[in-house]
Amino acid sequence: MNTRFQRITPFLWFDDKAEEAAHFYVSVFDNARILASTRYGKEAAAASGRAAGSIMTIAFELDGHKFTALNGGPVFNFTPALSLVVNCHTQEEVDHYWNKLSADGDPTAQQCGWLKDRYGLSWQIVPTQLVDYLTHADAAKAQKAMQAMLKMKKIDLAVLQQATEA
């Protein structure tokens, strides 16, 4: 039993897709699950313009990290000013998370491993080796890795390795 207390929980504001998004995120990650949900009662529904009985919040867990999603209406939208980083050990993991999270998302993926999913949430899909390439003891190799990375959308470890070996 995990008795670790998570002091900070990301709280994600959606217009009306919180439940759909939570189920999508749970499908992408291993060790993920829906934890609980609350529904709009009559008074809260009337005040918010939501249907009584519809999902208000849904709590979920991704790889041991808890999140809460809210159907709060169209008042706020996600921006790239906040993103979630997915650290990956292999190119296979990079490819998996990139392909799953970018499916039906913003087709104008940003550089350096950033993408925006179908709900507008920004993610960074980052291989753990990236830091090693960018902080290589040989400054010229680190610079070559940086230049190669700046040309990428999805990070490609083989290209980074080639760049540092050139």
The total of structural domains in the chain comes to: 2
Handedness of CA 85, 88, 91, 92 (dihedral sign): negative
Judgement on whether residues 115 and 71 belong to the same structural domain of the protein = no
What local confidence, expressed as pLDDT, does residue 65 receive?
A: 95
71 and 88 in a single domain? The answer is no
How high is the pLDDT of residue 2? 60
For residues 85 and 47, membership in a common domain is answered with no
Spatial separation of the C-alpha atoms in residues 152 and 110, rounded to whole Å: 9
165 and 85 both lie in a single domain: yes
- Express each pLDDT in 95-117 by its tens digit: 999 999 999 987 776 788 999 99
Q: What is the pLDDT of residue 1?
A: 57
85 shares its domain with 166: yes
Q: Are residues 89 and 9 in the same domain?
A: no
Q: What is the pTM of this model?
A: 0.90
- Shared-domain flag, residues 1 and 66: yes
Structure token pair of residue 12? 């994600």
Domain containing residue 149: 78-166
Residues 83 and 150 in one domain: yes
DSSP-derived secondary structure letter, 81: T
Coil, helix or strand at residue 164: helix
Domain stops at, among 23, 45, 77: 77
> Which residues of the chain register pLDDT less than 50?
none
Residue type for position 113? G
At 7, which CATH number? 3.10.180.10
- Domain stop point among 34, 60, 77: 77
Residues 88 and 63 in one domain: no
